[in-house]
C-alpha cells in the first residue's frame, strides 16, 4: 500500500538554526515521484520540489536541500539558517506512476515548523 509518514508533527527552532523535516514513504511501484509542498498560514500550497525514483542525487536550492535515499525510503528536507518566514506546515507527497494514471498525490500528515526570532 502507498503511504507517506511525517513523524514530526511540530518542530520549533530559533532563527538561524538548521532544521530537518523527515519523510518516509511506502510504495508498490518502482517508478514514482516525491514532492515537498509548503503551506503558510494563508493556506495556499506552494510547490517546492519534485524528485523521481530514478534520481537519487541530492538537491540544493538556496537554503533548502533535499536528501533522497531509496534504501531507507526517505526523502528528507533540510532548511539551513532558518528564518521566521519559513514558518509553515510542510507536506511530503508521493505519486505512483504505474498504478496512478491520474497523477493522484498521497500526502503525509504534515510537519508544522515554527521559527522564532
Partner 1 sequence: SAVISQKPSRDICQRGTSLTIQCQVDSQVTMMFWYRQQPGQSLTLIATANQGSEATYESGFVIDKFPISRPNLTFSTLTVSNMSPEDSSIYLCSVVGPTGDRFEQYFGPGTRLTVT
Nearer to partner 1, 3 or 116 (CB): 3
Nearer to partner 1, 86 or 110 (CB): 110
C-alpha cell at 101: 494514471
**15 or 22: whose CB is closer to partner 1?**
22
CB of 3 to partner 1, least distance (A): 11
Q: How far is the CB of 15 from partner 1 (least distance, A)?
A: 25
Distance of alpha carbon 106 from alpha carbon 2, whole angstroms: 8
The beta-strand segments (E) located in the chain are 3-5, 10-14, 19-21, 24-26, 32-39, 46-52, 59-61, 64-69, 74-79, 88-96, 106-107, 111-116
Residues that bind partner 1 (CB under 8 A): 33, 35, 37, 42-45, 47, 50, 52, 91, 95, 97, 101-105, 107-110
Amino acid at each position: 500500500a502507498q503511504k507517506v509518514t511525517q513523524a514530526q508533527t511540530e518542530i520549533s527552532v530559533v532563527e538561524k538554526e538548521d532544521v530537518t523535516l523527515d519523510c518516509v514513504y511506502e510504495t508498490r511501484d518502482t517508478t514514482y515521484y516525491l514532492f515537498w509542498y509548503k503551506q503558510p498560514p494563508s493556506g495556499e500550497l506552494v510547490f517546492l520540489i519534485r524528485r523521481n525514483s530514478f534520481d537519487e542525487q541530492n538537491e540544493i536550492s538556496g537554503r533548502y536541500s533535499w536528501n533522497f535515499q531509496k534504501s531507507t525510503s526517505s526523502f528528507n528536507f533540510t532548511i539551513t539558517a532558518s528564518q521566521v518566514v519559513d514558518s509553515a506546515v510542510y507536506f511530503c507527497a508521493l505519486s505512483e506512476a504505474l498504478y496512478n494514471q491520474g497523477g493522484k498525490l498521497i500526502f503525509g500528515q504534515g510537519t508544522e515548523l515554527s521559527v522564532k526570532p
